[in-house]
Amino acid sequence: MNHAAAPVLVIHGGAGVVKKEMRPEKEKAARAGLERALQAGYAVLQAGGSSLDAVEKAIVALEDDPNFNAGRGAVFNHDGRNELDASIMDGATLRAGAVANVHRIRNPIELARAVMEKSEHVMLIDDGAEQFAQSIGMPLVDPEYFYTEERWQALQRALEEEKTNTAEPGKTPHHGTVGAVALDARGNLAAGTSTGGMTNKRFGRVGDSPIIGAGTYADARCAVSATGWGEFYLRATVARDICARVEYRGDAVSKAAGDVVLGVIPELGGDGGVIALDKDGNIAMPFNTDGMFRGWIGRDGKAHVAIYAGE
Ligand code: ASP
């Protein structure tokens, strides 16, 4: 394969890693899940597939893995329900699709893509999104599919802390998300993000992940998928801000992503990370939390999986 045209894939499984709470089995399972998703997405690129297909494939693998807060492993809201959000964007055409607050969609990223390709809209939410899914023959799953003991217990702890007012001051609410950015052999970029949102979130709350320009953005030069405290990512329009810095100022993607994630977001009081990729295959993965589940295969074709800084 021509080295200059070698594809690139970067994925994340969320920046809400709390080192002291990380059990070794959990860490092992998360690393294995990242590896699987990375290989699933990269196989598409290696076969000459599009960045959009690779992003979708990698995210489906992460949504199906209960270790990550998206799809099967989605967190519970305050009322004990799962509300899922996802978005996808094609850098070559600037087309985008998104869904928010769905409860019966096994792979929200697939529905986001269907909204982009099979409807005249960019975003559908709630029952309307599920009705659209049915209209295109996408099966609905029983909401029970999203029940996992680990997430249920996390909600119980959050409810208890809320009731007894024992949450550590300044402690970030539990979060996590999955996402991918890819560059295919034709030089096209794409980005996608999928999440269960934040544990104990209010019914109807929507974060940055399904919002084009906040959680996800891709154009001809730059692709970004974000993970972090969504309220801050929304206010800072993180994904578009990073790509705008690349476009208007000619910033390197590492500078643009670093300035936003390590500057703008903490200054506002938020936390999290992003994965970002440019048209030349340059990768940036800054985060300001203990760790960020992530994996990447750059132009050298080598697979890497990491959680903490410096890995
Ligand atoms: N950004 C997601 C949200 O606020 C959560 C996360 O990425 O950790 O819904």
Helix (H, G, I), strand (E, B) or coil at 243: helix
What pLDDT does 4 receive?
52
| Ligand 1 pocket residue status of 207, Cβ below 6 Å | yes
| Ligand 1 pocket residue status of 283, Cβ below 6 Å | no
More confident residue, 213 or 165: 213
Kindly state the average pLDDT of the residues 272-283. 98
Kindly state the average pLDDT of the residues 185-190. 98
Q: How far is the CA of 233 from the centre of ligand 1 (A)?
A: 9
Annotation says 177 is catalytic = yes
Q: How far is the CA of 215 from the centre of ligand 1 (A)?
A: 8
pLDDT band at 166 (very low <50, low <70, confident <90, very high): confident
**Axis crossing angle, helix 51-63 with helix 24-46, rounded to the nearest 10:** 150
Rounded CA separation 206/310 (Å): 32
Strand blocks (E) in the chain: 8-12, 84-90, 95-102, 123-125, 178-183, 189-195, 216-218, 222-228, 272-278, 283-284, 291-297, 303-308
| Ligand 1 pocket residue status of 237, Cβ below 6 Å | no
What domains lie within the chain, and their CATH numbers? 8-308 (3.60.20.30)
**Axis crossing angle, helix 108-118 with helix 51-63, rounded to the nearest 10:** 150
| Ligand 1 pocket residue status of 83, Cβ below 6 Å | no
Q: How far is the CA of 139 from the centre of ligand 1 (A)?
A: 26
Q: Which one of 164, 177, 199, 289 is the catalytic residue?
A: 177
Kindly state the average pLDDT of the residues 10-37. 94
